[in-house]
């Protein structure tokens, strides 16, 4: 490269540097003005900067007695916050499949699909003509055996003991036959074992059923139990009764609160997750078994010092902050634990209550004396920009 090109490149670099200092480093204006570099370019130094040059400066400039003016905030304390969001499937609190105990033909269906029934209600019946005849026969035999036993026992000692025993035995057998006939008749009635809502009934009167034929299902959905999984790292942080937030995927505007009612006794070795169940109150009967839910769990962890995000600085060793100790700046290495919208949780040799520099860090050096100024004054000083005469 020729000397002319080198000179032109050098001049361009100097011009760019001068323009950057004038427009973005207001603290350099008094120095440039003392060397007479502003007037040839028609630049007027603002009064706020000129006054700052003769006295204390804004954040980043020298303060009284050569101290660096900075803005600092007190390190607070906040707890580590963690949240899990996962998807779970809901089921009814209790679900019962109704199957007949014996084979037969449906003679009546007493409920409709979707109807609410109470425990003990008869949902359907099978043809029971033969069983009713057997019941009538058994009742007649009991009456006859009872009359015979009463007659024999009334004769007393005139009747041999063995005849009295036979009569009483026949009465007991007749009573057992009556109970059996009543039991067989009862087996033809399909009764709801729990209270809940009846599912769709796909059978009609006259259909033949067997003990493996499902008549319908009854769901007690007064509560919905949601099953979901969490990573194994949260084992030990979750307990029965902990609160969860649930939102149906089909109704994202609806947010529900529930509680954990069951934890599995082991971690799945394939997925490295723990299975949990939570219960949701079905207020207004708006939830159904089989719905998908977005589950959120919040955890409050250990307490850490919290600082303003502006205080975090970086170098080759990682993040650090400037701490004011005994009126002097000290560089303190930290580790970032958690970033939030308005603060950063850190760990390291930083105590809650210490002053941490948030503005003016560009002129700090370890051991430099500092002067803490308000944030408003520092912003006004930083906002002062040069004005061109042209």
Q: What's the rounded mean pLDDT across residues 222-236?
A: 92
Whether residue 42 lies inside any domain: the answer is yes
CA distance 237 to 244: 13
- Tens digits of residue pLDDT in 348-359: 899 999 999 999
Whether residue 171 lies inside any domain: the answer is yes
- Tens digits of residue pLDDT in 330-387: 999 999 998 887 899 999 899 999 999 999 888 888 988 888 886 544 444 443 334 3
DSSP state of 67: P
Please indicate, yes or no, whether residues 309 and 371 belong to a single structural domain of this protein.
Answer: yes
CA distance 335 to 141: 92
Q: Which CATH number is 149's domain given?
A: 1.10.287
| Alpha helices (runs of H) in the chain, residue ranges in sequence order | 3-24, 29-34, 47-54, 129-155, 161-186, 375-383
Please indicate, yes or no, whether residues 46 and 11 belong to a single structural domain of this protein.
Answer: yes
Please indicate, yes or no, whether residues 312 and 379 belong to a single structural domain of this protein.
Answer: yes
Whether residue 250 lies inside any domain: the answer is no
Question: Is the pLDDT at 19 greater than 50, yes or no?
Answer: yes
Whether residue 243 lies inside any domain: the answer is no
Q: Which CATH number is 363's domain given?
A: 2.40.420.20
Please indicate, yes or no, whether residues 172 and 134 belong to a single structural domain of this protein.
Answer: yes
Domain span at residue 350 reads 68-80+303-383
Q: For position 27, what pLDDT does the model report?
A: 63
Q: For position 292, what pLDDT does the model report?
A: 96
Whether residue 217 lies inside any domain: the answer is no
Whether residue 43 lies inside any domain: the answer is yes
Question: Of 139, 164, 187, which residue is a domain's last?
Answer: 187
The β-bridge partners of 344 are 307, 339
Whether residue 105 lies inside any domain: the answer is no
How many structural domains are present in the chain? 3
Residue 36 pLDDT level (bands cut at 50, 70, 90): low
Question: Of 160, 187, 214, which residue is a domain's last?
Answer: 187
Whether residue 46 lies inside any domain: the answer is yes
């Amino acid at each position: 490269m020729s000397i002319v090109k080198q000179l032109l490149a050098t001049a361009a670099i100097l011009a760019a540097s001068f323009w950057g200092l004038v427009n973005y480093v207001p603290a350099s204006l008094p120095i440039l003005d003392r060397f007479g570099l502003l007037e040839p370019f028609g630049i007027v130094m603002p009064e706020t900067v000129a006054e700052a040059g003769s006295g204390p400066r804004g954040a980043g400039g020298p303060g009284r007695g050569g101290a660096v003016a900075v803005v600092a905030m007190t390190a607070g304390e906040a707890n580590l916050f963690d949240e899990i969001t996962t998807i779970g499937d809901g089921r009814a609190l209790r679900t019962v499949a109704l199957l007949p105990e014996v084979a037969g033909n449906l003679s009546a269906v007493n409920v409709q699909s979707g109807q609410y029934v109470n425990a003990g209600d008869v949902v359907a019946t099978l043809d029971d003509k033969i069983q009713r005849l057997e019941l009538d026969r058994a009742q007649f035999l009991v009456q006859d055996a009872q009359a015979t036993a009463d007659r024999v026992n009334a004769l007393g000692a005139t009747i041999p003991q063995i005849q009295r025993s036979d009569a009483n035995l026949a009465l007991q057998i007749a009573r057992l036959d009556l109970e059996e006939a009543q039991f067989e008749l009862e087996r033809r009635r399909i009764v709801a074992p729990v209270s809940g809502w009846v599912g769709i009934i796909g059978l009609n009167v006259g259909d033949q059923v067997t003990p493996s034929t499902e008549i319908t299902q009854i769901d007690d959905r007064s509560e919905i139990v949601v099953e979901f999984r969490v990573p194994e790292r949260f084992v030990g942080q979750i307990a029965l009764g902990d609160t969860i937030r649930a939102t149906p995927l089909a109704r994202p505007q609806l947010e529900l609160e529930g509680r954990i009612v069951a934890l599995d006794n082991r971690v799945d070795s394939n997925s490295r997750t723990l299975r949990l169940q939570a219960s949701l109150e079905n207020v207004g009967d708006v939830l159904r078994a089989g719905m998908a839910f977005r589950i959120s769990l919040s955890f409050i962890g250990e307490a850490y010092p919290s600082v303003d995000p502006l205080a975090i600085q970086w170098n080759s060793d990682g993040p650090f902050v400037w701490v004011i100790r005994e009126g002097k700046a000290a560089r303190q290495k930290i580790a970032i634990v958690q970033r939030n919208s308005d603060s950063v949780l850190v760990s390291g040799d930083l105590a809650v209550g210490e002053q941490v520099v948030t503005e003016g860090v560009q002129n700090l050096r370890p051991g430099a004396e500092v002067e803490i100024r308000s944030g408003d004054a520092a912003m006004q000083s930083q906002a002062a920009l040069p004005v061109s005469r042209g």
